[in-house]
Amino acid sequence: MDLIYTPEQNAFRKEVRAWLAANIPAKPLASFDTQEGFEQHRAWEKTLAKGNWGMVTWPKEYGGRGCNLIEWLIFEEEYYRASAPLRVNQNGIFLLGPTLMEYGTPAQKERFITKMASGEEMWAQGWSEPGAGSDLAAIRSKAIRQGDEYVLNGQKVWSTRAVFADWVFCIFRTDPASERHHGLSFIFVPLNAPGVTVRPIPQLDGLPGFAEIFFDDVRVPVENRLGDEGQGWNIAMSTAGFERGLMLRSPARFQETAKRLVKLYREHSNDILDLSIEDAVVKCYMDAEAYALSTYQTASRLMKGGKIGSESSVNKIFWSELDQLMHETAMNILGWRAELWPQSPAAGDVGHWLDGFLFAQSGPIYAGTNEIQRNIIAERLLGMPRK
């Protein structure tokens, strides 16, 4: 791994920085967990796509720039440094996009990738069910083939921003006699199809960021299936790899939070009596830097043909617990002000930290809970016996 950037990489960084400075919306966007904010973020995705910055690692024919992973890390560093808007179509761009490139037919790639890249179609992920979360193989929602169509029945839950999205990618049981990870298929469903009901679920902050989705005799064409019938589990595991691996949470996100935490500490250092807070600030900063260095190392390895595998579970635990510690430490520094409503006159930047604190609580749950990641590490990396 070479820690010195090449002249081309430095030039790329300059280009990203200049484009972001010229294009980032002047006013912060509303939360993407509201209809208004969702549409504002969609408009931002369209702006990114017009400049070919939507997903820089994608091939040029899909609106990307064919960048390698080091260039992607540089892009991310500039993106977070500039406080650019959060990525509303992350389910599409970070998860489904790479899965489609690997498993999609030429017709599916042409139909779905371009509209995803351009921000025209936003995607939700429909995997979890009331009885199938960590134990995803317990999925019961069914897709029964009738001629050239599948008839869908069942329920999904915790589907992020499905209230506002256009499409959902799901896993259904296509062989009703099958059990566990056999007989499952990966299917795309337009959320405005007859028989689909999307019911919002409020998050901790009260906004409708989640939804449950009900399917009552919904009909979709067989062409909406990704991969072969019964191959759904393997495809889903490959998507999950993208989710836990490098792309979903780049180190820049945490490095920027760590820098803000140091700034917050400096602003309040005269009021802080508890020395453990200082230790926590130092730990957060060092861990964010360590995660960045470790990611550069992984990226270099992947660029030489290596694979990420179960190591992505280690990453997922590391960034989600670091995010929690950073926000808890910020709450401790803010002290009594952390109890204020963000709209209160004395709150200052409390709202921003509080939002982050609430969201950080979900990090150890989504993309596979940290308990499950620890099981994977124990069995596959440490070679411990299955219980």
Contact flag: residue 234 with ligand FAD (CB under 6 A):
no
Sign of CA dihedral 75, 78, 82, 83: positive
- Rounded to the nearest angstrom, the gap between the alpha carbon of residue 161 and the centroid of all alpha carbons in its chain is 12
Contact flag: residue 366 with ligand FAD (CB under 6 A):
yes
Contact flag: residue 155 with ligand FAD (CB under 6 A):
no
One of 158, 169, 186, 353 touching ligand FAD (CB under 6 A): 158
Contact flag: residue 371 with ligand FAD (CB under 6 A):
yes
Q: Which of residues 188-207 bind ligand FAD (CB under 6 A)?
A: none
State the nearest-atom distance from the C-beta of 159 to ligand FAD, in Å. 5
Contact 263, 281 (CB under 8 A): no
Which stretch in 72-80, 139-147, 178-186, 365-373 sits in contact with ligand FAD by CB under 6 A?
365-373
Task: Classify 172 as helix, strand or coil.
Answer: strand
What b/e sequence results for 60-74 when a residue is b if at least 16 CB atoms lie within 10 Å of its CB, and e otherwise?
A: eebbbbebebbbbbb
Contact flag: residue 128 with ligand FAD (CB under 6 A):
yes
Q: Which is nearer to ligand FAD, 37 or 368 (CB)?
A: 368
Contact flag: residue 82 with ligand FAD (CB under 6 A):
no
State the nearest-atom distance from the C-beta of 279 to ligand FAD, in Å. 28
Q: Which is nearer to ligand FAD, 134 or 178 (CB)?
A: 134
Q: Which listed residue (45, 76, 121, 243) is catalytic?
A: 243
Looking at residue 218, its amino acid is V
To which H or E segment does residue 357 belong?
Answer: helix 350-360
Q: CA 362, CA 343: separation in Å to the nearest integer? A: 23
To which H or E segment does residue 218 belong?
Answer: strand 210-221
Q: Which of the 8 DSSP states describes residue 220?
A: E
Q: Which is nearer to ligand FAD, 89 or 298 (CB)?
A: 89
Q: CA 214, CA 159: separation in Å to the nearest integer? A: 11
Contact flag: residue 214 with ligand FAD (CB under 6 A):
no
One of 308, 331, 338, 372 touching ligand FAD (CB under 6 A): 372
Q: Which is nearer to ligand FAD, 56 or 211 (CB)?
A: 211
Q: Which is nearer to ligand FAD, 85 or 364 (CB)?
A: 364
State the nearest-atom distance from the C-beta of 373 to ligand FAD, in Å. 9
Quick one: CA torsion of 83, 158, 166, 93, rounded to 10 degrees?
A: 50
Q: Which residue, judged by CB position, is nearest to ligand FAD in the bound state?
A: 133
Q: How many residues bind ligand FAD (CB under 6 A)?
A: 18
State the nearest-atom distance from the C-beta of 9 to ligand FAD, in Å. 33
Contact flag: residue 250 with ligand FAD (CB under 6 A):
no
Contact flag: residue 151 with ligand FAD (CB under 6 A):
no
Q: CA 311, CA 327: separation in Å to the nearest integer? A: 25
Q: Which of residues 259-298 bind ligand FAD (CB under 6 A)?
A: none
Contact flag: residue 110 with ligand FAD (CB under 6 A):
no
Contact flag: residue 313 with ligand FAD (CB under 6 A):
no
State the nearest-atom distance from the C-beta of 381 to ligand FAD, in Å. 16
DSSP strand pairing (196-201 vs 210-221): antiparallel
Contact flag: residue 180 with ligand FAD (CB under 6 A):
no
Q: Which is nearer to ligand FAD, 65 or 253 (CB)?
A: 253
Rounded alpha-carbon distances, angstroms, from residue 346 to 32, 205, 266, 360: 25, 20, 19, 24
| Angle separating helix axes 69-81 and 251-268, nearest 10 degrees | 30
State the nearest-atom distance from the C-beta of 344 to ligand FAD, in Å. 26
Contact 281, 262 (CB under 8 A): yes
State the nearest-atom distance from the C-beta of 162 to ligand FAD, in Å. 7
Q: Which of the 8 DSSP states describes residue 311?
A: H
Q: CA 281, CA 267: separation in Å to the nearest integer? A: 13
SS (H, E, C) 221-252: EHHHEECCCCCHHHHHHHHHHHHHCCCCCCHH
Q: CA 55, CA 72: separation in Å to the nearest integer? A: 9
One of 90, 160, 298, 312 touching ligand FAD (CB under 6 A): 160
Q: Does the annotation mark 243 as catalytic?
A: yes
Q: CA 279, CA 188: separation in Å to the nearest integer? A: 48
Active-site positions? 243
Contact set with ligand FAD (CB under 6 A): 124-128, 133-134, 158-160, 362, 365-366, 368-369, 371-372, 375
